[in-house]
Amino acid sequence: MYHYREIFKQAAKVAFKYPAIWFFGLMAALLGTSGEAEVFFSSYANSGWLSFWQNAAAGGLFSGGGLRGLTALFVQSPAFVVMAVLAGLIVLGMTVFITWLVVISQTAVIGQSIAITRKHPLTWGESFGLGVSKFWPILGLNVVLKIVVWLTISIIGVMALQRFVLSLYVFIVVFNAGMILVLMSSFISRYAICAVVLKDKSFGESLSFAWKLFKTNWLMTMEISIILFLVTWVVNTIIGILGFFAFFYIFRLYSGWLFGLILLTTFLFVVFVVLQIALTVFSWATWAIIFEIISSKKNLLASRLISGWQALRR
């Protein structure tokens, strides 16, 4: 039987003893390091784009008058419009490129983590090639997760605006159901991504496989998620406190030396980024190791709550 301590020790070894994986960790960190809480809150923040377009439509941007205004602007200032279109295309191209790198890096971190635990680490090129070969199904799984979360948040937002008898109680029920759906979707997505990378499953097969794993191991999955969240929260809290005092100490010490102030502030920022990268690798390495264990069908890992309760009953 495996213990959580052994799994976290292996994941920490992957995160801190193999800096070659940090490039992929840097890109994967753009997806967040706080697990399921990150999924919800980042999606909630991104839902502001929906409000932007809703406000634009309400302001008449897509009405007849708004479209005529855009046409007039194009006729009167074609150079401005061309520059705006070019800027938009550049931003779109950069977004596509970064998304491509992020998805590839997510796959590379998972594959390299398991390769390291097997004592046969992949080369940088092999990790990158693995990410390229799994790009489309991994992208699809990430998109599906985002859609589920955005739809859930939208429904919760609509319910929050409703005013009728017992509307508060209905909202509470919808909110809690929505949070459960978001958590389940996040867990299933993680297992499905690992299934694509480590078991060579297709998009549909990975979802089915992940759902079966989650049903069998949902309590253990929740325990791991809570532990990872607490680890991330504690580390970031310590970083925040130490960084706060370090910044003001540096500011007082080098207040008359601008170059030194910039240099040391940059150093603090680099330390923060490196720790976030390590946390990202640690998180995904943990999930990859967990997936490898519970998908082996050998019952090598069980919920601590269940095993603890069984021990008490004896």
Q: What is the pLDDT of residues 153-212, one digit of tens each?
A: 888 888 877 787 788 888 889 889 988 998 999 999 999 999 999 999 999 999 999 999
Query: What is the distance between the alpha carbons of residues 34 and 235, in angstroms, rounded to a whole number?
Result: 11
Q: Do 197 and 187 contact (CB within 8 A), yes or no?
A: no
Specify the pLDDT at position 247. Answer: 79
Higher-pLDDT residue of 176, 30: 176
Quote the CA–CA distance of 192 and 209 in Å, as a whole number.
7
**Residue 245 burial (C-beta neighbours within 10 Å; 0-12, 13-18, 19+):** exposed
Check: CB of residue 235 under 8 Å from CB of residue 275: yes
Give the span between the Cα atoms of 282 and 11, in whole angstroms: 5
* 136-137-140-142 Cα dihedral, nearest 10 degrees: -110
Tokens at 275, concatenated: 């720790």
- Look up tokens 């992940």; give the residue: 210
Q: Is the pTM of this model over 0.85?
A: no
**Segment 58-111, tens digit of pLDDT:** 555 555 665 666 666 666 777 777 788 899 899 999 999 999 999 999 999 999
pLDDT band at 38 (very low <50, low <70, confident <90, very high): low
More confident of the two residues 297 and 48: 297
Q: How would residue 53 be classed by pLDDT, with cut points 50, 70 and 90?
A: very low
Sequence length of the chain is: 314
CA 52 to chain centre: 23
Mean predicted confidence (pLDDT) in 141-152:
91
Q: What is the Cα–Cα distance from 290 to 282, expressed in whole angstroms?
A: 12
Choose the weakest-confidence range: 36-40, 94-98, 290-294.
36-40
Residue 221 pLDDT more than 80?
Answer: yes
Q: Token pair for residue 156?
A: 């919760």
Question: What six digits make up the tokens of 277?
Answer: 């990268």
**Least confident stretch, 51-60, 126-135, 227-236:** 51-60
**Per-residue CA distances from 303 to 14, 194, 309 (Å):** 24, 20, 10
Alpha helices in the chain (DSSP H): 4-17, 22-28, 35-46, 48-58, 64-76, 78-117, 124-133, 135-161, 167-199, 203-253, 258-294, 304-313
